Amino acid sequence: MQDFKFWLYPMLYKWIVMLLMATYRVEYIGREHVEKLKSNAEGWIYSTWHENVVVSQWAERNQGLVMMSSDSKDGEFSARVMARMGNLPVRGSSSRGGMKAARAVIQALKSGSSAGMTPDGPRGPARKVKPGMLFISAVSQCPILPYHVVSNRYWTLTSWDKQRIPKPFSRVIIRIGEPLRIDKQSFKHDEASLLAEVEGVMQKNVERAEEAISV
């Protein structure tokens, strides 16, 4: 029965999300950063807060992005949703199976793939960067691209991340910030400063996205 649920629920989730989000008016800001990396045959890491997961997985569907999913029952559902959306789940998180998953993501990035990560996942605290993403960026030498979703009308869930889901027929802006490269030696010797820097850059991207949606 559980196997059936893991087959059925991700499929239903995908089609509900696809139907809802087909009504959105989506605008990208900063897509040129992605195009430039593509033209240089470089991979990248989308870095988005966990509150954006529902929309970001839809927006970046069928991209073959490597995404981490926790090594738990909830993670199994999440991994199957990622696969249904045309991306590549890797099991593990900061709490369980983290290093094994990190190595798998690094290997994929070095092989030419790109990734999507939520540096405050899987359990928070919300909008606080954990070191795993910086380690992966430093070792793979793939830059981090801040990624944020805003809408003029949305529901906010009661989950720890305050997941935001735009209402039907909303205007949605997806803002992608400039590439941020993590130096391996700097990460090794001053991890705390780099964590604060990345948090600051991501927060600035949030603020600029919110400014754009208010115009």
Length of the chain: 215
Amino acid 32: pLDDT:
98
Confidence label for 1 from pLDDT (cuts 50, 70 and 90): low
Amino acid 53: pLDDT:
95
**Neighbouring residues of 86: CB distance < 8 A, sequence distance ≥ 6:** 61, 62, 63, 64
- Cα dihedral 25, 115, 183, 198 in deg (nearest 10): 40
CA-to-CA distance for 78 and 126, rounded, in angstroms?
18
As given in the structure block, the two tokens for residue 17 are 């999300």
Q: Which residue has the tokens 């208010």?
A: 214
**Neighbouring residues of 82: CB distance < 8 A, sequence distance ≥ 6:** 57, 67, 69, 88, 89
Instruction: Provide the whole-model pTM.
Output: 0.93
Beta strands at 88-91 and 45-47: parallel, antiparallel or unpaired: unpaired
Confidence label for 76 from pLDDT (cuts 50, 70 and 90): confident
State the chain's maximal CA–CA distance in angstroms. 50
Whether 146 has a pLDDT exceeding 80, the answer reads yes
Whether 187 has a pLDDT exceeding 60, the answer reads yes
CA-to-CA distance for 5 and 10, rounded, in angstroms?
8
DSSP state of 115: E
Query: Contact at 8 Å (CB) between 126 and 157?
Result: no
CA-to-CA distance for 171 and 161, rounded, in angstroms?
22
CA-to-CA distance for 178 and 151, rounded, in angstroms?
21
Mean pLDDT of the chain: 92
